[in-house]
Structure formats: structure tokens, C-alpha cells
Structure 1
Amino acid sequence: MRTRIGIIGAGPAGLLLAWLLQRRGIESVVLERRSREHCERRVRAGVLEQGTVDTLAEAGLGERLAAEGHVHHGIELRFGGAGHRIPFEELVPGRAITVYGQQEVVKDLIKANLDAGVDIRFEVEDVAIEDFEDRPRLTFGGERLDCDFIAGCDGFHGIARAAVPQDRVRIFEKAYPFAWLGVLADVRPSASELVYSASERGFSLHSMRSDTVSRFYLQVPPETKAEDWTHEAIWAELKARHETVPGFTLDTDGPITAVDVAVMRSFVAEPMRFGRLFLAGDAAHIVPPTGAKGLNLAVADIRVLARALGEYYASGSEDLLDRYTEICLHRVWRAQHFSWWMTNLLHAFADADAYDRRLQRSNLEYVVRSRAQATALAENYVGLPYSTDETG
């Protein structure tokens, strides 16, 4: 078999690349080791930046997003017995976030691609990359797929980055001394916007997926397993960390339907191109979820890669392909800093002394009292506008 672009991974990055390429008349094949059902039901991020929403809408994927997504014009920082709203509509007019689960984005992308005739192969066994420098090809299940280029969109633990010799990849990484316990519950949200709560007990986040489904996160020790927590203990701890302001009661009148643990890490692999192999999304970089940047960075990578490949097939120019790493990493490192900053701002560190804790409180108070600091948080949270290189 032969195709122009071989794409590894049917997550948001790989599926969006396939969709944007087919709109440019560029053929691709997507290989995914999981089932379609697994991809469409896997709960991950749910906060879409303004630029991500605009990208999906411009690509003809915005109908269900507009109908079912929840647009938020602010977030709340809760600490010291009070809540403090960061008003996006005042600080960054015209820009907001939309709460729409990653699995919903994946459903929309799978349907659009399959309806358009894009070749997506689920439950593919033994995928391997060969000769990505000159004559790239993918082998899987006894078959061979020759490609012009390969896009590694297969996540942090995928095969794409692992196929590159270690001496050609520079790794920057940081592990955090805690994890997040993620909780999905069939209970109406107790707040109309996301609530980031910092307390001595640890950090907690109140988010939502719909009018009847809430998503919560609890800071927990890094070795925590989901089965370590009973549902009763989860609700008790969520109430303790969120019911810290007068008049607020957390609604717990519904079942918990899923519990998972997310490791907190920062990771960047440089470069993001190796011959005719390109890395995108989590295959190239990971951020702690505090800043809600993971999915949005993947979309930004794919915008650049799709445009670069489109330019190559239209004119033969490799200028954007050659600059792919440079363009993407400019946004990646900005998001890395913001995610690291939000993580340090809001979490309780076990090794923090009295000085560290007072410094952290001072920083929180400065953010909510200074318009300049609040604006910096807001413009990074809703997503910085795309540059000329990213938009074309």
C-alpha cells in the first residue's frame, strides 16, 4: 500500500491532521491500536481555548460543539475562605473557553473523517516505523504502508518518539510530587464556571462536562491508585476542599461513574522533526493539566503541520516543514511556563516550609488584586492568538 501521510494515533492530533489534509486533497491513512469505542469513550481534557474552538469551526467541525459546548467567560480562584473571579470578558475581550470533552471532539473527528472516506484503521497490531529519513514506511499486522511522511500523533507512550535514536532527541522534563485523582459523577455542577481551590489539604478543581455531569480533580500523593479511594471518601474530601466560602454547598446527590489517576509531569522533546517523521501533541510534549493546555497544544501543532504539508504538495516548498519545530516550540514553551506557574501557584507542597507557604499566598493575592497579573493569567488561560506562521 501507499499513501502520502501515514498517521500513527487516532486521538485528537492524528484525527485533526487527517481531516485538515483531506480538505486540502492530501491522502492519509490513520493507524490506531485501540478500538473505535475506546477512543470515543476515553475521558480526558475538557477545556478548549478560543483558538481551538475557532480552528474546529473553521474546519467545519463546530456544529455540535456550538450546540453542546459550554462557553465560560471566567474562572474562580478560591483560597483563604474567599472566591475570586478572573473575568475574561473584561481582561481579554472577545476570548473565552469552551467546556467540551475531548472524547466529544474525537467522536466528531472520527465521524467527519469516515464520512469523507478517510482510511482509519482501528485495533491495528504491531505498528513499526522503518527508514523515516529517506523512504518512510509503516508496517503493521503483516502489511506495509509506504509514505511520503509519517506523523507521530500516538501520545507520550507511543512508538513514534521511541523510534528515534536517543542521541538525536534532547529531553526536558520535570516530575511533580503529587498526582490528580480524576472523578466523573452524574451530578449537576455546583458552580457555573471552573473553580480552582487551594487549601492546606491540597488542591482541588471543580469542572463539568454538561448540565448533569461534573468532573472533579483532587491533589493526591503520586503513588495513589484509583482503588485507594472509596466514593464516600472522595465526596468527603471534595466537600472539605471546596466548601470553604460562605454559602457554597457541593452537590453530591449522584453516583460517581469513573475514577482515574493522572501523573503530573512536564516534558518536552526537541526537535519535533526527524527526517520525514514529525511528532505532534503528547508524543512531543506533556504539560501538567492545571493550565488546561494539552489538547490545545496538540491542535496548535497540527495547524502548523497541516499547513506545512499543504504548502509542500502545492508548491514543493519545504520552508514550513523545516521550521515546524521552531514554530511549534515557541507556543509549547509558553504553555509549559504557564502550566508550571499555575501548578506551583495552587498546589500544596509537602516539603514547603512556613516561608514557602506565605510566599505562595502572597502570589495568589497579587494575582487577584493586580489587573496586570489577572490579565496575564486570563490571556494565557484562554489561549494566546495564533501567530502569522500558525495561521498562514
Structure 2
Amino acid sequence: MRTQVGIVGAGPAGLLLSHLLHRCGISSVVLEARSRRYVEERIRAGVLEQGTVDLLNEAGVGARMQREGLVHHGIELRFSGRNHRIDFADLTGHGVTVYGQHEVVKDLIAQRLADGGDIRFEAEEVSVQDVETARPRIRFRHAGRSQELDCDFIAGCDGFHGICRPSIPAGQLTTYDRVYPFAWLGILAQAAPSQDELIYANHPDGFALYSMRSPEITRLYLQCRPDEDPADWSDDRIWSALHARLGDGADGWRLNEGPILQKSVTPMRSFVTEPMRHGRMFLAGDAAHIVPPTGAKGMNLAVADIRVLAAALDGFYRRGDEAGLDGYSATCLRRIWRMQRFSWWMTSMLHRFDDKGDFDQRVQLAELEYVTSSRAASESLAENYVGLMRR
């Protein structure tokens, strides 16, 4: 087989890259280890920055998002028994859109298939070869046959546990890693949202987050131990903790309950690898960086990577210009580190750290008081959250 760009991974990064390349007249093949059903039902992030929304609309894959996405013009911070709203629209003129990552994936798959795109689901034994040469290759097994894909470039969009980054020889990458001493217990509940915007709660028992996925489905999180077994959390225990941490009853607000459809534990870590290129292979999305979900940046950073990579590949094929490819890693990393800082800051401000004492907890509250009482501090949070920094 022969294509111009071989893409490993059919998450939002790989699919969006394939779509943008198609619009530029550049061929690609996407290889995905999982089934189509798995990737379309895999529940992940759901908050889209303004820049992500704009790109999906510009690329012609935002129609369903515009119909079904929930536009939010702010968030609420709850601490010390009080509620404080950060008004994104007033502070920045923009907002965010709640639209699940799996919905974005569905839209991209449907569009790629409608355009005749080549996506190979359930590809096995995938390996990358000769990435330091002008003719890299991807070997894989699909539908019982061993195959080889010759290409000009490889895009490693296969996530943190994928095969692309580990295939780079030792000593070629520098990694920066931080593992947090807690995790999130996340649930999907068949319950109508109790309000229109997200709630981030700092509570003595630990952090909690109220979110939603649709007018019928609520998404909620509780801080827990990294080794927590979701089976140890009964529905009653979950709802009791959520009512307590989210300040149920404050200002007449009540949390709606409903059947819990899904429970899972999400580890919390920060991770960056530099550079995001080796030879003719480029890493994007979770293959190159992970952020704690507190700042809602995971999928948005992946989309930002792809915006840069697609433009660089278009410049190469259209004009023979390699400057964009050569600058890809440095360009992406400037934004990545800014968003790492923001995600770390939000995580540090809102979570309970069991190894910290009363002094540190009082500093947390002082930080929250400052953020919610200073327009300059509120504007900084809002600007980072809606994602106006595109350089």
C-alpha cells in the first residue's frame, strides 16, 4: 500500500488530521487498533475551547455540534460554602461548548467515510519502520492479512499507551512527568442537568465537578484515591458525597439524581515529551502530552497540534516548504507548556492534598478568594479556559 501520510490512531487527533489533509488534497490512511464501535463510544473530555469549535466549523464537521452542543458562558467556583461565577462572556467575549469527545469522533468518522477516506479499524501488530529515512513504513495486520504501508510521513496519534512514541530510540526524547496523589471517580447519570454551567468545588472532603453531556445526561466527578475500585462506591455513597461536596442546598440549588450508567476512575498526571518529532514521524495529542483534566485541555491541545501539523504538511506538499515541519515541535510546545501551567494551577487550587497541612489549605482558599474577587485574576482564568491563545 502507498499513501502520503500514514496515521496511527483514530481518536480526534488522527481523524481530524486525516480530514484536514483530505481538504488539502493530501492522501492518508488511518490505522486504529480498536473497533469502530469502541472508539465511537469511548467517553472522554467534553469541553471544547472557542478555537476548537471554530476549527471544526471551518472544516465543515461542526453542524451536529452546533445543533446539539451546549454553549456555556461561564463556570462556577464553590468553596467555603459560597458560590462564585466566572463570567467568560463578560471577561473575554467568548465561551466554551460542551460536546463529548466521542461525538466529535463520530462526526469525523462519518465525514471521512462519506469522503471515501481509508480507516482500518481493528488493525493489529502495528509497528513503524524506517522513520529516519525519506520512505517510512507502517507494518500491520488487518482482516487476517499482514500488510505494509509506504508513506512520506507518519503521524503518531495513538495516545499515551500507543506504539509510536516507544518506537523512538532511547536518548532521543526528553520526558517531563508528574503523577498526582489522587484520581477522579467519574460517573454518567441519566439525570437532567441541575443548572446550565459547570461547577468546580473545593471541599474539605476533596474536589468535585458537576458537568453535563446532554439535556438528559449529567457527568460528575469526585476526587478519590488513585487505586480506588469503582465497585467500592455504591450509588448511595456517590450521591451522598456529591451532595456534600457540591454544596447541595446553597442558594436553593439542588443536584438532580438519576440512574448511574457508568463508573470509572481517571488517574491524574502531567506529561510532556520533547521534541514531538523523530525523523519523519510526528507525535500529536496524548502520544506527546497529558494534562490533568481539571483545566479541560486534553482534546483541545490535540486539536491545536493538528492545526499546526496539517498546515505544515500542506506547506510541504504545496510549496516544498519544510519550515512548518521543522518548527512543528517548538510551535506546539509553547502552547502545551502554557496549558500545562494552567491545568496544574487549577488542579493545585481545587484539590485536597493529604500530604499538605492546614497552612497549605488556607493558601488554597486565599487563592480562590483572590481569583473570584479580582477582575484581573478572573480574566486570566477565563482567557486560559476559553483558549484564546492560538500562537
TM over 0.5: yes
SS at match of 2:61: coil
2:291 matches 1:287? yes
Pick the aligned partner of 1:350 from 351, 354, 364: 354
> Offset at 1:327?
0.4
- For 2:22, the equivalent position in structure 1 comes to 22
Separation of aligned partners in 2, 1:49 and 1:59: 16
Point out 4+ residue stretches in structure 1 off by more than 3 angstroms. none
Equivalence for 1:35: 35
Matching of residues 76-87 of structure 1 within 5 Å: 76-87=76-87
Q: Where in structure 2 are the equivalents of 1:84-233 lying within 5 Å? A: 84-93=84-93, 95-134=94-133, 135-141=135-141, 142-233=146-237
C-alpha separation between the residues in 1 aligned to 2:229 and 2:38?
21
Q: Which residue of 2 aligns with 1:55?
A: 55
Q: Give the distance between the partners of 1:246 and 1:312, measured in 2 at CA.
A: 57
Determine the C-alpha separation between the residues in 2 that align with 1:31 and 1:225: 32
- Identify which range, 109-118 or 231-240, moves more after superposition: 231-240
Comparing 350-359 with 268-277, greater Cα deviation is found at 350-359
Shift of 1:384: 2.2
The amino acid across from 2:191 in the alignment is: V
Structure 1, residues 144-197: CA drift from partner, whole Å, max 9, x if none?
Answer: 001100000000000010000121010001010000011001001112100001
CA distance in 2, matches of 1:260, 1:186: 16
Instruction: Tell me if the contact between 2:335 and 2:389 (Cα under 8 Å) persists in the aligned partners.
Output: no
Number of residue equivalences: 385
* Secondary structure of 2:251 counterpart: coil
Secondary structure, counterpart of 1:18 in structure 2 = helix
Offset from partner CA, 1:34-92 (integer Å, 9 cap, x none): 00000100000000000000000000011100000000000000001110000011100
How much has 1:339 moved relative to structure 2?
0.1
Aligned amino acid, residue 44 of structure 1: R
The answer for unaligned runs of 5 or more in structure 1 is: 388-392
Contact 2:44 2:100 in 1 (8 A): yes
**Matched position secondary structure for 2:43:** coil
CA deviations over 1:2-39 (Å, ceiling 9, x no partner): 11000000000000000000000000000001000001
Structure 1: distance between partners of 2:311 and 2:321: 11
Q: Tell me which amino acid in the other structure corresponds to 2:357.
A: D
Q: Secondary structure at the match of 1:206?
A: strand
Query: 1:351 offset after TM fit, Å?
Result: 1.2
The CA deviation at 1:385 is 3.5
1:287 positional shift: 0.1
Return the TM-score normalized by structure 2. 0.98
What CA distance in whole angstroms lies between the structure 2 residues aligned with 1:152 and 1:229? 37
- Is the Cα contact below 8 Å between 1:79 and 1:198 reproduced in 2? yes
* Cα contact 1:243–1:250 (8 A) shared by 2: no
Q: Using the alignment, how far apart are the partners of 1:128 and 1:384 within structure 2?
A: 37
Q: What whole-Å deviation, never above 9, does each CA across 1:99-132 have from its counterpart, x for those lacking one?
A: 0000000000000000001100000110001110
Distance of 2:261 and 2:109 partners within structure 1:
25
Superposed CA RMSD in Å reads: 0.7
SS in structure 2 opposite 1:167? coil
User: What SS does structure 2 have at the residue aligned with 1:157?
Assistant: coil
Question: Structure 1: which amino acid aligns with 2:113?
Answer: L
Q: Tell me the distance in 1 between the aligned counterparts of 2:117 and 2:255.
A: 45
Q: Which amino acid aligns with 2:252?
A: G
Is the contact made by 2:185 and 2:221 (CA closer than 8 Å) also made in structure 1? yes
The whole-number CA distance in structure 2 between the counterparts of 1:43 and 1:225 is 18
Structure 1 distance, partners of 2:358, 2:29, is 56
Q: Distance in 2 between matches of 1:46 and 1:188?
A: 17
1:251 matched to 2:250? The reply is no
Q: Which residue does 1:390 correspond to in 2?
A: none
Equivalent-residue separation in structure 2 for 1:241 and 1:107 (angstroms): 34
SS of 1:126's partner is: strand
**8 Å Cα contact 2:308-2:332 kept in structure 1:** yes
Gaps of 5+ in 2: none
Amino acid at match of 1:251: N
1:303 counterpart residue number: 307
Alpha carbons 1:186, 1:214 under 8 Å: kept: yes
Identity score, percent? 59
Q: In the aligned structure 1, how far is the partner of 2:161 from the partner of 2:232?
A: 25
Aligned 8 A contact 1:179 1:222 in 2: yes
TM-score normalised by structure 1 residue count? 0.97
CA distance in 1 between counterparts of 2:78 and 2:279 reads 48
Alpha-carbon contact 1:151-1:279 (below 8 Å) kept: yes
